[in-house]
Amino acid sequence: MMTQAVKAPMGDVRGKTAFITGGANGIGLGIARALVQAGANVVIADIREESLAQARAEIGSDAQVETVQLDVTDRAAFARAADAAEARFGKVHMLVGNAGIGVMGPVLDARFDDWDWGMGVNLGGVINGIVTILPRIKAHGEGGQIVTTSSQSALLPISYSAIYTAAKAAILGISEAIRGELAGENIGVSAFMPGPVQSHIAHSGELRPAEYRSDSGYRQREEDLEKRPVSPLWMSADEVGERVLAGIRDNDLYILTHPEFGPGMRTRFDAILASMPDEAINQDRAKEIGFLLSNPAFDDQLARRQGKELAA
């Protein structure tokens, strides 16, 4: 099936509405603040009620901001939150699937509760958002943007991050797969892969539901992680928010933040290519499976970046 490139469905976000999960602090709040300053309406969804109130007070602009409590693993609640967003602003144009938790530790210590909670929030929350809100964006016909918060971990996995990386790598794959599918609907897709950001992710353990506490190998590690200071050298949430805003405006497939990861990523890609069988390509087989051998979304992104470099 042929796919096509999307130009820039959002462009000017002024007057458009964004639905942001995990939006009440850290990265999500930085994105919300950038969008509001750019003239967009923002629905901030978060599991913490007290954080929602604080976020609304920090951003101000009550005419542009709505808040809703949401556990992204609750599909019925997600539908109600989407209804509330449309009741307030009429239409949702941007979905930012940002809610996430830092489930980290040795894979030998990981138990079913750790896997189920980590994958349920980090991957399931993104899926629930897409299934719930994407049809609503398509229905109004004005175009839109899906932003999925993956991670540099999806591109440069490290030890002790199996659960987190599994979810973030899946999110990246979903984003790349649906980019071409949604082009004809004038809906862009951006995979957002930040590095370390000043956020509250170290306090994820506070949110672990009771049903995921009895069979966990990570509880002590989570308690220790809460004491880790946030480095002033980590990127600020507001800077990250501005980078995401720019990615939405340009309909970038990849929104990256930290150039420090570049050399490691290149080594990983080189290691993969170096492992390719050193054999002649079977041309008949290549024709048979041609639909699997490339993704026009990659060509489109390269052209976009090269065009921006030339324009600069």
Residue 303 falls inside a structural domain: yes
What pLDDT sits at residue 209?
A: 82
The DSSP H or E segment spanning 59 is helix 49-59
Active-site residue, 164 included: yes
Catalytic residue chosen out of the listed positions 164, 212, 218, 254:
164
Interatomic CA distance for residues 58 and 25, integer angstroms: 10
Q: What is the pLDDT of residue 201?
A: 67
pLDDT of residue 208: 80
Say how far apart CA 245 and CA 239 lie, in whole Å: 10
Alpha carbons within 13 angstroms on the beta-carbon side of residue 140 total 17
pTM: 0.92
Q: Which domain holds residue 284?
A: 17-311
Residue 156 lies inside a defined structural domain of this protein? yes
What pLDDT score does 161 carry?
93
The distance between the two most distant Cα atoms of the chain, rounded to a whole number of Å, is 63
Is 226 inside a domain boundary? yes
Separation CA 20–CA 111 (nearest Å): 30
Q: Would 256 be classed as within a structural domain?
A: yes
Distance of alpha carbon 130 from alpha carbon 137, whole angstroms: 10
Count how many domains the chain has: 1
Q: What is the CATH number of the domain that holds 127?
A: 3.40.50.720
The torsion defined by the Cα of 107, 109, 115 and 119, in degrees rounded to 10, comes to -50
Distance from C-alpha of 103 to C-alpha of 305, rounded to nearest angstrom: 33
pLDDT of residue 86: 98
Residue 4 lies in a domain: no
Kindly give the parts of the chain with pLDDT less than 50: 1-3, 6
| Residue 199 included in any domain | yes
Q: Is 114 part of a structural domain of the chain?
A: yes
**Does 96 reside within a domain?**
yes
Question: Where are the extended beta strands (E) located within 172-253?
Answer: 187-193
Q: For 156-203, what is each residue's pLDDT tens digit?
A: 999 999 999 999 999 999 999 999 999 999 999 999 999 988 776 666
pLDDT at res. 306 = 86
Question: To 10 degrees, what angle do helices 26-37 and 49-59 make?
Answer: 30
